[in-house]
Amino acid sequence: DAKTTQPPSMDCAEGRAANLPCNHSTISGNEYVYWYRQIHSQGPQYIIHGLKNNETNEMASLIITEDRKSSTLILPHATLRDTAVYYCIVKETSGSRLTFGEGTQLTVNP
Amino acid sequence: NAGVTQTPKFRILKIGQSMTLQCAQDMNHNYMYWYRQDPGMGLKLIYYSVGAGITDKGEVPNGYNVSRSTTEDFPLRLELAAPSQTSVYFCASSYWGQEKAFFGQGTRLTVV
């Protein structure tokens, strides 16, 4: 699975958009980009995933660059409850294990 | 559906004791995973299984054993507990390794 690089921490003001970057320059053609988050002490929670097109669901939007070497997770209107560690993971959809890096600690401030 | 259920939620073990962390899922998922998370760190994969009767090592398998006799259950066994195994353990499952994985709420284990 391709390795990912994320900033260790970010801050965001409540109500503003949170944009979390992820670099995955060694991603291969059949690997997807997944995002999970972990709110303090809880089990991780799936957010969104995509291959090359931008994706949006009720939680967030995922923007993947055309060369697929980086992506951005967007929380359009961050709330205090979005404070969590966000993990960017690159893997094939099946047949491979799910491994986590260190993630980005997002702190949403009032 | 209960999702992924882990038991116990908390446990204190003495050095050298053994125990089994239980994990059950009711979503008919093929893939199941065990992770450990040390304080302030990310999740490390211990073992995973792609179906009943099939298990494979992850990043940190030493000191642990697993079995997968049914689709629903994936117990993690610690034979000789050591202080280095003090951690929070998470179990997860997914359908054929695709899309989203569902996680349990974790087991907090302290070895003293």
Task: Render pLDDT for A93-103 as a digit per residue (tens, 0 to 9).
Answer: 666 678 888 89
pLDDT tens digits for A7-16?
999 999 999 9
Q: How confident is the model at residue A54 (pLDDT cuts 50, 70, 90)?
A: very high
Q: Is B85 helix (H, G, I), strand (E, B) or coil?
A: helix
The pLDDT assigned to A95 comes to 64
Q: Which of B42, B56, B100 sits opposite A102 (nearest CB)?
A: B42
Q: What type of residue is B96?
A: W
Q: Can you list the residues of chain B whose pLDDT is less than 70? A: 1, 97-99
Mean residue pLDDT across chain A:
93
What's the pLDDT score for residue A92?
Answer: 80
pLDDT, one tens digit per residue, over B62-82 is 999 999 999 999 999 998 999
Q: For residue A1, what pLDDT is reported?
A: 63
Cα separation of B108 and B85, whole Å? 10
Query: What is the rounded CA–CA span in Å between residue A75 and residue A62?
Result: 9
CA-nearest of A71, A69, A70, A15 to A61 is: A71
pLDDT above 80 for A49: yes
- Between strands B87-94 and B31-37, the pairing is antiparallel
Task: Return d(Cα B20, Cα A38) in angstroms, integer.
Answer: 25
Min distance A4 CA to chain B CA atoms (Å): 13
Closest listed residue to residue A73, CA positions, set A39, A33, A29 = A33
CB spacing of A93 vs B98 below 8 angstroms: yes
Q: Report pLDDT digits (tens) over A5-45.
A: 999 999 999 999 999 999 999 998 888 999 999 998 899 99
CA of A79 to nearest chain B CA: how many angstroms apart?
23
User: Which positions in chain A touch B9 (Cβ < 8 Å)?
Assistant: none
The answer to whether B40 contacts chain A (CB < 8 Å) is no
pLDDT of residue B2: 79
